[in-house]
Amino acid sequence: MDAVWDVLYDVLVVVLIVFVATGAVPVLTAAFHFLMVPLHSVVNHYRRADAYFPRVAVVIPAWNEALVIGATVERMLQLSYPEERLRVYVVDDASTDHTPEVMAGLVGEHPGRVVHLRREQGGQGKAHTLNHGLRIILGDDWAEAVLITDADVIFTPESLQKMTRHLADDKVGAVSAYIAEGSRDRNYMTRFIAIEYVLSQLAARRAQNVLGAQACLAGGAQLHSRANLEAIGGRIPTGTLAEDTVATFESQLHGRRMVFEPRAVVLAEEPRTIDALWKQRLRWARGNVQVSWIYRKVWFRPHRGHHLGNIAFGLSWFSIFLLPFAMVLSSLGLVGLLLLQSELAELVFRALWVTASVCFLFSMLVGIQLDPRIGRHAWREAFLFPGLVSFVVMIAALFPGLIEVWLPSLFGLKLLPWGEYALTLFVYVWISAAMLAAWAARAVEATRVGRWLSPLLIYLVGYGPMLCAITVDSYIKEWRRADASWIKTEKVGRVLG
């Protein structure tokens, strides 16, 4: 009987170690992609780019955007681009504010260059609004390229011509710009978002350029060739909450290359509260759940015509999409090893967190130097991206005994055995508990003390765990088939002008 138990014990230990190792997969995958970033200086599309100025139709979906649409259109008309080769089409999705009056003034000031397309029945979502404009734009032979953008973003002067140069290569179907957080009155949330965008765009999308497959064109700055739009049916696919991602996948499946242009900078206003961010990212996360299912026959199936099926791209996608599962499995594995009183528990814990620490430090150092402006004003958020508690856990893993022995001894204290056990248990489950704490931070925000307490909680819990919590919420919402209507993020014109 003892022999049977020994075998079961050994098998269970192996299974638990595999659970813990699962948590290292997303970390190592992210580090691998950051290793690709320096290669972008060699493996890029610039050799096939050239000065190229196609006739560009800018299409802007707008619903109740009176506060921001005027500045957006005016700045678009001031781009360093041949005036006669640029037109702006604002598709008004049955706005009930002063958007029509603002647009009437713009059309009068810029006849022939600004077009107001009014939908009398709106509310169907961004993709339907865009398609209304695309039908009219592509129905005429004037446009050679279409720039899809948002009503609240500001393009820097040289950005469009930096994008169009890639369309000189007819194998390129679309080009995406770098969407940078550009609020003039930043708060803790917009600074976290700024760091996230540096990591997810300037770093990750450079790596995707190197690997040959883009996960998603930036929704507020995607330039399509006319041929590319016609190849995917002349419209943005509807039926999901991730129309940008679906259009990106469909373009690549039709054999065209997607290019990220990091030097084309577009400033955007981003959410300032946990609740606003949660609603925005929940829509994105649910869209990714839908995309993961729609393209289930593409994943991990290499194809000569595109790179979406490559192993590296699949690992990149699912490392983010399934990150919450990896976090929970890691906690289960660590707690299981602790309960089994396995001597491997501490060793495996340290291996996981040391790996996470090194990869985090490497990724952040690579990321923030790509946009020094963001690094200067958001260095605290870069430092605390995984949360202060997680940072302390990293230190505990790097320096054994520091938390449970050295620090208490400085104050003449000594933890009792049960105290050491409780502290160890807390550290082991924190990787998952952080997501629950992020939910709590959102709930606290709505209370009387939330204005100052919720930012403190996010600094403690971490911005990354909050994004994971939102992903979990997306699983739940999709499983329950909750209402999937497109919710507009409120913007009030805080973008730097």
Residue 384 tokens read as 């605390």
Reported confidence tier of residue 398, pLDDT bands at 50, 70, 90 = confident
For 25, other C-beta atoms within 10 Å of its C-beta total 17
pLDDT in tens, 356-393: 999 999 998 888 889 988 888 899 999 999 999 998 88
Q: Look at residue 241 in the predicted model and tell me its pLDDT.
A: 86
Distances (CA, A) of 36 to 215, 306, 398, 476: 16, 19, 26, 34
Per DSSP, 413 falls in state -
Predicted local distance difference test score (pLDDT) of residue 147: 97
pLDDT 10s digits, 208-257: 999 999 999 988 899 999 999 999 999 988 888 888 999 999 999 999 99
CA dihedral 364, 318, 474, 491 (to 10 degrees): 40
Question: Rounded distance, CA 126 to CA 426, Å?
Answer: 44
What is the pTM for the complete model shown?
0.92
| d(C-alpha 457, C-alpha 451), whole Å | 11
Q: Which domains does the chain have, with CATH numbers?
A: 44-310 (3.90.550.10), 317-476 (no CATH)
Q: How far is CA 105 from CA 63, 86, 137, 154, in A?
A: 17, 19, 21, 20
Determine contact, residues 383/195, Cβ cutoff 8 Å: no
Strand-strand pairing, 221-225 and 154-155: unpaired
With contact defined as beta carbons under 8 Å apart, do 107 and 114 qualify?
yes
Under the banding of pLDDT at 50, 70 and 90, the label for residue 480 is: confident
Q: Considering the chain, what is the average pLDDT of its residues?
A: 90
Q: Which of 82, 94, 93, 24 is nearest to 55 (CA)?
A: 82
pLDDT score of 345 more than 90? no
Nearest to 47 by CA among 155, 159, 171: 171
Helices (H), 369-490: 372-377, 379-383, 388-398, 407-410, 417-445, 450-461, 463-479
Which residue has tokens 């595109």?
Answer: 306
Cβ-count burial of 74 within 10 angstroms (0-12 exposed, 13-18 middle, 19+ buried)? middle
Query: Six-digit token pair at 275?
Result: 């609740």
Dihedral of the alpha carbons of 190, 192, 196, 199, in degrees to the nearest 10: 120
What's the token pair of residue 250? 């469909």
